[in-house]
Amino acid sequence: MTMMPSARLRLTTVDTEATVRIELRGDLDYDNADRLLAAVTGQLAGRPRLEHLHLHCAGLGTVDSMGLSVLLMIHRRTGEAGVRLHLDDRTARLDRLLTITGTLEHLTASPNGAASSPAGAGESPKNSAEARAARPTGPDGTT
């Protein structure tokens, strides 16, 4: 059980010439996800020599669909600017969200294509293992 009262998003930025690191604390959601996008857009515009953007995610609370949308937008913008996006210290919840939505690989793949996290997209969470054992499902079909 998570006991997570909705918290305002706080952004802490640490930078060098080629690397920007933004520490995220609080919820990345409908009410404040735009602030992260604005911060990142500002960094991209102001630093032509930027190579790496690190979003430090350990302090993230709830990430809702707007939050995920902003992460996808940041990925698109960094890609266009030739900057590599790193989602560092992801929480289990964030990984779960990225897994369910099928975006983990896209957001975390290194340029050679391999996912930086071993979490395989689409594996069943273990809590249904018992239920499956109770009765076999039908054959899986791939389209």
Residues that bind another protein (CB under 8 A): 1-5, 30, 62, 64-66, 68-70, 72-73, 76, 100-103, 106, 121-122, 124-125, 127-128, 131-132, 134-135, 137-143
Nearer to another protein, 49 or 135 (CB): 135
Residue with tokens 């900057």: 83
Q: Is 51 in contact with 89 (CB distance < 8 Å)?
A: no
Nearest approach in angstroms of CB 100 to another protein is 6
Q: CA-to-CA distance for 48 and 64, rounded, in angstroms?
A: 31
Nearest approach in angstroms of CB 71 to another protein is 9
| DSSP-assigned beta bridge partners for residue 54 | 21, 86
Nearest approach in angstroms of CB 94 to another protein is 14
Q: Alpha carbon of 20 to those of 16, 49, 98, 132, 135: distances in Å?
A: 6, 11, 23, 45, 51
Nearest Cα to Cα of residue 53 among 90, 7, 14, 94: 14
Nearest approach in angstroms of CB 37 to another protein is 10
